[in-house]
Amino acid sequence: MAPTQNTRVALIQMSCSPDTQLNLDRAAERVYKAAAQGATLVCLPELFRAQYFCQREDHALFGLAESIPGPSTDILTRVCREANVVLVASLFERRAPGLYHNTAVTIERDGRIADTYRKMHIPDDPLYYEKFYFTPGDLGFKATETTAGKIGTLVCWDQWYPEGARLTALRGAETLFFPTAIGWHPSEKEEFGTAQYEAWQTAQRAHAIANGVFVCAVNRVGHEHGDVKFKAPAADGNPATVELHGPGDHTPHSGIEFWGGSFIADPFGRILAQASHDKEEILYADLDPKLVEVTRQHWPFLRDRRIDAYEGIAKRFLD
């Protein structure tokens, strides 16, 4: 049953260290903190367990991947039970040997895995070499009924595509979550930084308006080179510590400066809360579920869609 009272959402904008265990521990700590402030629906950034490793192509980094259920969900399901929250967490999923996904897991308050979503749109850009690691999702766009409302999750690069947001909303989602890892190439920041961030935010606010939904986008902060320290099975089967260092000379002009700027928008695209560009924060907003219906009554975009005239939308290009 959908909630009739406001839902307090918390977005955990965090920096990520090379130590994957430390990142998991710090994420759990922040979930508890958000719950203590009344949050019942919490979202972590994309691939929060590690620094953003897709800055280069390295087969050793597949050692970061894990099954779902697996080590991370074992911890996070306990956290959800103890904190009494619904949690969205983005993980590097090992589905089968040689088959990996960028997967968001929704965990209910009782610790049950309510749903999974596999990132559909996979980028391949300088310092974002995700096609090397991730197979495109095959679960489709989904809406998940939770005790904190009906939500939909899309991941990072998905946030630029109106089709994904639309189909998720058409399945009944009233709040869209976009766990994200996006930032500036430091050499481009001065010239393009403001425009890039504003385009990112505008695209997602447009999803809120066009679909009459809340949008919650949560990013990481900090300058990263993709350094990673994690436990992996050794030849004798016992866990061994693996340390990998990112490419480049580790100067301020290399790597990625993640721009933070997490935000929550209402169904009319108005910003309810926005985080800084350079600080770890927990961002809160109280979402009124009645606002979805009221907004859609006054701006009936779903009513007036010409579903009889959209046959070309499934084609790559109309010649």
Which active-site residues does the annotation give?
A: 46, 119, 156
Cis before 45 (ω within 30): no
Buried b or exposed e, range 222-257, using 16+ CB within 10 angstroms: bbbbbbbbbeeeeeeeeeeebebebeeeeeeebbbb
Main-chain dihedrals φ then ψ at residue 20, nearest 5 degrees: -65, -35
Main-chain dihedrals φ then ψ at residue 223, nearest 5 degrees: -95, 120
What six digits make up the tokens of 13? 């904008």
217, β-bridge pairs: 178, 263
Main-chain dihedrals φ then ψ at residue 260, nearest 5 degrees: 55, -125
Q: Is 33 exposed, middle or buried, given 0-12, 13-18 or 19+ CB atoms closer than 10 A?
A: middle
**Alpha-carbon distances, residue 166 vs 123, 143, 221 (angstroms):** 20, 11, 28
Measured distance CA(17)–CA(27) in Å, rounded: 11
Q: Is the distance from CB of 13 to CB of 45 less than 8 angstroms?
A: yes
Measured distance CA(102)–CA(131) in Å, rounded: 10
Measured distance CA(1)–CA(148) in Å, rounded: 9
Measured distance CA(213)–CA(176) in Å, rounded: 7
**Alpha-carbon distances, residue 219 vs 14, 16, 166, 315 (angstroms):** 8, 11, 22, 31
